[in-house]
Chains A and B, each alone.
Chain A
Amino acid sequence: DVKVTQSSRYLVKRTGEKVFLECVQDMDHENMFWYRQDPGLGLRLIYFSYDVKMKEKGDIPEGYSVSREKKERFSLILESASTNQTSMYLCASSWRGTKNIQYFGAGTRLSVL
């Protein structure tokens, strides 16, 4: 079974803190993704990585950065957390091919106070 593991299920941080969200996959997938999910807005892509050290901005990258030093690990960084970044964050991974099915982690619910 494909496993995508996110480091925390729930996280509470203060405004201005630097926040790290970690994601690890065990399927040797080339692609990894970070989404945020808000009611009524569906899944919005923050960043995408197609290989180690390679990244592309998604639809809403402002206020976020990412790091992919190893193939299995993709980190999302909130440089200075703000209250409007309170959300559910979902990590996903997939192969790079026509069958680009995405496998999701359980999600991290982040609250920024």
Chain B
Amino acid sequence: GQQVMQIPQYQHVQEGEDFTTYCNSSTTLSNIQWYKQRPGGHPVFLIQLVKSGEVKKQKRLTFQFGEAKKNSSLHITATQTTDVGTYFCAGPRNAGGTSYGKLTFGQGTILTVHP
């Protein structure tokens, strides 16, 4: 079945350093979504990318969708302690009909930021 792999699993950075997490799907995706889960919290939607090669920015966060629509990345410039948490990518599951709406989540990248 469809697999969505995320690397690295853990990333420890000093405050001010950059951070990148990568997401790779075994199948072509119609779109990719990114979520953030703060420690003790629940996943919260960050962004959705739809077009091949799309790049979107949210302040210090830059999201990219690969040309082949099978991979994506999230880059944080100059991390802050507020960036701590787990970042998940997710892609729609293959299959139409009633399966429409289900997502396959990557395992997540846990980011810790040392002040």
Chain B residues 6-37 with CB under 8 Å of chain A are 9, 30-31, 33, 35
**Whole-angstrom CA separation of A41 from B30 in the bound complex:** 24
- Shortest beta-carbon distance from B100 to chain A in Å: 6
Render A80-113 as a binary contact track against B, CB cut-off 8 A, 1 for contact: 0000000000101011111111111111000000
**Interface bin, chain A:** 20 to 34
- 29 A-B residue pairs with Cβ-Cβ distance under 8 Å, sorted by A, are A31-B101, A33-B102, A42-B88, A42-B106, A42-B108, A43-B88, A43-B105, A43-B108, A45-B102, A48-B99, A50-B98, A50-B100, A50-B101, A54-B98, A56-B98, A56-B99, A92-B43, A96-B101, A97-B101, A98-B31, A99-B48, A100-B92, A100-B100, A100-B103, A101-B45, A101-B48, A102-B103, A103-B45, A104-B43
Total CB contacts across the A-B interface at under 8 A: 59
Q: Which residue of B lies closest to A43 (CB)?
A: B105
Contacts of B41 in A (CB 8 A): 106
Contacts of B45 in A (CB 8 A): 101-103
**Interface bin, chain B:** 20 to 34
**Whole-angstrom CA separation of A106 from B35 in the bound complex:** 14
Q: Which residue of B lies closest to A104 (CB)?
A: B42
The answer on a CB contact under 8 Å between B101 and A100 is yes
With A33-B102, A95-B101, A97-B101 given, name 9 new contacts (CB 8 A). Answer: A48-B102, A54-B98, A56-B98, A100-B100, A100-B103, A101-B48, A102-B103, A104-B42, A104-B44
